[in-house]
Chain A
Amino acid sequence: MEWVNLQTLWFALIAVLFIGYFVLEGFDFGVGILSRFLASDDTDRRVMINTIGPVWDGNEVWIITAGGAMFAAFPLWYATVFSSFYLPLFLILLALIVRGVSFEFRGKRSDDRWRWWWDQAIFWGSLLPALLWGVALANFVQGIPIADNGLYVGTLWDLLSPYALLGGVASLSMFTLHGAMYLALKTEEGGVIAERAHALALWLGLVVAAGVIAFLGWTYLNALAVGDTGVVPGIIPVSAMLAAVAAPILVRERLHGWAFAATTAMIALVVLTLFLNLYPRLLVSSIDPAFDITVSNARASDLTLTIMTWAAIVFLPIVLAYQSWTYWVFRHRISRASVEAPSDTPMQVLERRLARHRARGQERDT
Chain B
Amino acid sequence: MDALELARIQFGTTTVYHFFFVPLSIGLAPLVAIFHTQYVRTGEERYRRLAKFWGKIFLVVFAMGVVTGIVQEFQFGMNWSAYSWFVGDIFGAPLALEGLLAFFLESTFLGLWIFGWDRLHPKLHVATIWLVVLGTHVSAYFILAANSWMQHPVGYTIDRITGQARLDDFVAVLTNPYLVGQFSHTILASWATGAFLVLGISGYYLFRQREVEVFRSSARTAVALAVLASIGVAFVGHEQAQHLTDAQPMKIAAAEALWETEAGAPLSLFAIGDVQDRRNIVDIGLPRGLAILATNTLDGEVQGINDLQAAYAEEYGEASYIPVVGVTYWSFRIMVGAGLAMIALSLFGLVTSLRGHIADHDRRFNRWWLWLLPWAIALPFLANTAGWILTEMGRQPWVVYGLLRTEDGVSGAVGTGYVATSLLGFTAIYGVLMVVTIGLIVRQVRTGPPEPVEGEELDDDHRTFAPLGAY
Contacts and interface: CB of A to CB of B under 8 A. Distances in A.
Contact of A50 (B66, B69, B421, B471): B471
B92 interface: yes
Contacts of A73: 92, 96
Given A329-B112, A338-B468, A347-B52, A311 B88 contact: no
Nearest to A107: B471
A42 to B, nearest CB: 12
A73 B91 CA distance: 11
A334 B468 CA distance: 8
B147 interface: no
Contact of B93 (A56, A94, A304, A344): A304
Contact of B413 (A74, A152, A326): A152
A330 B117 contact: no
A350 B122 contact: yes
Interface in B451-471: 453, 456-460, 462-471
B119 A330 contact: yes
Nearest to A147: B413
A55 B422 CA distance: 29
Contact of B88 (A104, A300, A303, A316): A300
B164 interface: yes
A86 B418 contact: yes
B429 interface: yes
Interface in B262-305: none
B164 A346 contact: no
B84 A93 contact: no
B contact residues, range: 35 or more
A217 B243 CA distance: 61
Contacts of B421: 87, 90
A352 B78 contact: no
B236 interface: no
Interface class of chain B by DSSP: helix
B471 A103 contact: yes
B92 to A, nearest CB: 3
Interface in A310-352: 311-312, 315-316, 319, 322-323, 326, 329-330, 332, 334-335, 337-341, 343-352
Contacts of A326: 108, 111-112
A54 B114 contact: yes
Contact of A104 (B48, B60, B116, B418): B60
A337 B465 CA distance: 9
Interface of A: 46, 49-50, 53-58, 60-61, 64-65, 67-76, 78-84, 86-87, 89-90, 93-94, 96-98, 100-101, 103-109, 150-153, 300-301, 303-304, 307-308, 311-312, 315-316, 319, 322-323, 326, 329-330, 332, 334-335, 337-341, 343-359
Given A101-B433, A338-B469, 14 more contacts: A54-B114, A58-B108, A65-B103, A68-B92, A68-B100, A72-B92, A79-B85, A103-B471, A307-B170, A308-B93, A311-B101, A322-B105, A326-B108, A354-B122
Q: Can you list the 9 inter-chain pairs with the closest CB atoms, starting with the nearest?
A: A75-B88, A82-B77, A72-B92, A65-B99, A339-B469, A346-B117, A68-B96, A71-B92, A346-B467
